[in-house]
Structure formats: structure tokens, C-alpha cells
């Protein structure tokens, strides 16, 4: 019987693993879960019918999913599993990882007979709960075809290239989120200082050419309401924009806007707080303009 294991039951991993458990039950497969803080895995098992296991047991699965903060934690977890890994298995890393980490990760796994797919996801916690995430996959196409039926949390799956390409696309996507979020915050701060009502301004922008995901789905709902619900940490967005800046350097590209956004998000992470919601980055713009966006 095919065994699927999901490691990392955070804001994203918990609902993703819930879809996997439901899919496994419907197809007579085993669904294992592991989390550093064990009670969350036990709670997942009770709520969704998965089985909470040790890392050693998870290592013997046919398909291993990870959704951890960065490639550093994936590498640490992998270190505890290498001796037990099953030859022929596929490791699907849904972490928003670093493209420069992919070769070492791939080679360590290849030495154990395991194929790596970098498969970061987009769609937020709402997409994870709905099972409609976009997955951008780097790595061998044959391995993707093997695991494709098991991607129970996906709305869209795109093979974007070789190993590391998924991580690269994810970093650039999130850098673009950072650019539009920050730029829209700046624009609204200027309008607020001009005495314009921000709800009315956002209504216009959202029906005009300046609109974006940030203006349509984030700023009105999270910033103007002052709610800032923490679903995607500012520290993680700053990390992703930093990866995009690293990638620019690695390919000797020229992307000053992305570099500047990465630096601004790093400053916001430090001054506003890494665990705050990513939209709280706009609190730094508020300080710079001595006002609140509301």
C-alpha cells in the first residue's frame, strides 16, 4: 500500500495535510503526519484521520511532503531521515525554498535513491483550506507524473523547469507581491496626506489600472480595517523577497526594484515584527508618513 507522509503542520501544512488524509482515505492509502511540536500532529490525526509518526517512520514513506519555513529547516529534517529513506521514493518540498539550496538537497536525496521535486505553493491559508493551491514544480517530469494524483491540495499544477525552478518562480512571485503591497501602501499614504478618503480611493483603484492582488484582497480587508490577521508572516515574505534578490545576484541580473523591495521588507520585519502578518509591513510606511492607513 502506498504511504504518503506530510512533515510540517504549520499555517499551510496543516490544511494541506488534511486534504492529503481525506484523499488517502478515499484511495486506500496511508497518510502519515509529523510535526516538530508533536501535539499538533496528534491533533491532526484526531481531526483528519491521519497517523502521527516519528521522523524515522515518516522516512519510509513512498512520497514525502515538506512545508517548513525555509530550506535550512528542510535540510535539518532531512539529516534525521537519510538512513531510513526508501529507494524510489519522491520528496515533494512545498517549502518556499532557496534555489541555491536545491542542488545539495537533490544530491543528498539522490544518494539515498530518492527524487526531489521543489514544489512551493501559492494561494495562502485560504487556498490551502479550500484545496485550490497553485503548485509550481521544478525537477524531473516523470517524478511529477508519479506524484501528480497525490497533489490533493492543488487547484493548478505547473511544471516550471528543472530542479530549483519552482523555488525561483515562487521567490519572484512573492517579490512581486511585496512590490505591489509596498507601492500601493505608499500611494495610499500620499492620498491620506492629501485628505482623500482611503476607502473611496481603494474602490477607484480596484476598478482601475492600478489594481493588484494587494489592493483587491489585502489592503482593504487587513490594513484599513486595522485587523492585520496573521496568516502569512512578514518574516516569510521578507525571506522570499531576499531569495529573489539573491537570485538576481546569482544570474548577474539587474532588478533594482526587487532589490529595494527586499531591503524595505527586511527593515519592516525588523521594526514591525517578523511574526506580524505580511500586510503589517505598511505600518512602516505609516511611521514614515506619520499617519494611519484607515
Cβ proximity to ligand NDP, 39 vs 87, nearer residue: 39
User: What is the C-alpha separation between 146 and 225, in angstroms, rounded?
Assistant: 45
Cβ proximity to ligand NDP, 44 vs 283, nearer residue: 44
CA angle 167, 117, 43 (to 5 degrees): 90
Instruction: Please report the DSSP string for 73-130 in residue order.
Output: HHHHHHHTTGGGPPTT-EEEE-S---GGGHHHHHHHHHTTT-EEEE--EESHHHHHHH
Shortest distance, position 149 Cβ to ligand NDP, whole Å: 22
Shortest distance, position 68 Cβ to ligand NDP, whole Å: 4
User: What is the C-alpha separation between 193 and 207, in angstroms, rounded?
Assistant: 22
For residues 74 and 26, is the Cβ–Cβ distance under 8 A?
no
Shortest distance, position 195 Cβ to ligand NDP, whole Å: 35
Cβ proximity to ligand NDP, 104 vs 288, nearer residue: 104
Shortest distance, position 200 Cβ to ligand NDP, whole Å: 29
* Residue 47 CB-density burial (10 A; 0-12 exposed, 13-18 middle, 19+ buried): exposed
List all residues 6 or more positions away from 24 whose beta carbon is below 8 Å from its beta carbon: 4, 30, 31, 50
Report the interface residues with ligand NDP, using CB under 6 A.
8-13, 35-37, 40, 67-69, 73, 76-77, 95-96, 121-122, 124-125, 231-232, 236
Shortest distance, position 122 Cβ to ligand NDP, whole Å: 6
User: What residues act catalytically?
Assistant: 170
277: DSSP letter: B
Q: What CA–CA distances, in Å, run from 252 to 104, 164, 249, 287? A: 21, 17, 5, 34
CA-wise closest residue to 179 among 102, 262, 280, 67: 262
Instruction: Supply φ then ψ for residue 88, to 5 degrees.
Output: 90, -10
For residues 108 and 77, is the Cβ–Cβ distance under 8 A?
no
Cβ proximity to ligand NDP, 125 vs 162, nearer residue: 125
Shortest distance, position 210 Cβ to ligand NDP, whole Å: 24
Strands 154-161 and 30-34: unpaired
Q: Find the residue with minimal CB distance to ligand NDP.
A: 10
- Residue 266, CA atoms < 13 Å, CB-side half-sphere: 13
Cβ proximity to ligand NDP, 20 vs 191, nearer residue: 20
Q: Which three-class secondary structure state does DSSP give residue 155? A: strand
Cβ proximity to ligand NDP, 68 vs 176, nearer residue: 68
Amino acid at each position: 500500500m502506498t504511504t504518503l507522509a506530510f512533515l510540517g503542520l504549520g499555517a499551510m501544512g496543516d490544511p494541506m495535510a488534511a486534504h492529503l488524509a481525506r484523499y488517502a482515505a478515499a484511495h486506500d492509502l496511508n497518510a502519515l503526519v509529523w510535526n516538530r511540536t508533536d501535539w499538533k500532529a496528534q491533533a491532526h490525526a484526531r481531526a483528519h484521520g491521519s497517523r502521527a509518526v516519528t521522523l524515522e517512520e515518516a522516512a519510509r514513506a513512498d512520497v514525502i511532503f515538506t512545508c517548513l519555513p525555509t530550506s535550512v529547516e528542510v535540510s535539518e529534517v532531512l539529516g534525521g531521515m537519510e538512513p531510513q529513506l526508501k529507494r524510489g521514493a519522491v520528496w515533494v518540498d512545498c517549502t518556499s525554498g532557496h534555489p541555491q539550496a536545491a542542488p545539495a538537497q537533490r544530491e543528498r536525496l539522490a544518494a539515498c535513491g530518492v527524487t526531489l521535486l521543489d514544489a512551493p505553493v501559492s494561494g495562502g491559508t485560504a487556498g490551502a483550506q479550500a484545496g485550490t493551491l497553485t503548485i509550481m514544480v521544478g525537477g524531473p517530469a516523470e517524478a511529477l507524473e508519479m506524484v501528480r494524483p497525490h497533489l490533493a491540495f492543488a487547484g493548478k499544477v505547473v511544471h516550471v523547469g528543472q530542479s530549483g525552478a519552482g523555488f525561483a518562480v515562487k521567490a519572484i512571485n512573492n517579490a512581486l507581491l511585496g512590490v505591489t503591497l509596498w507601492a500601493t501602501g505608499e500611494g495610499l499614504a500620499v492620498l491620506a496626506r492629501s485628505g482623500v478618503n482611503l476607502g473611496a480611493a481603494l474602490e477607484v483603484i480596484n476598478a482601475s489600472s492600478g489594481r493588484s492582488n494587494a489592493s483587491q484582497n489585502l489592503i482593504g480587508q487587513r490594513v484599513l480595517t486595522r485587523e492585520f490577521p496573521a496568516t502569512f508572516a512578514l518574516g516569510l515574505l521578507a525571506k522570499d523577497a531576499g531569495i529573489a534578490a539573491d537570485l538576481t545576484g546569482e544570474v548577474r541580473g539587474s532588478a533594482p526594484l526587487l532589490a529595494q523591495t527586499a531591503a524595505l521588507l527586511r527593515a519592516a520585519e525588523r521594526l514591525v515584527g517578523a511574526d506580524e502578518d505580511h500586510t503589517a509591513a505598511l505600518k512602516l510606511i505609516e511611521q514614515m508618513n506619520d499617519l494611519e492607513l484607515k
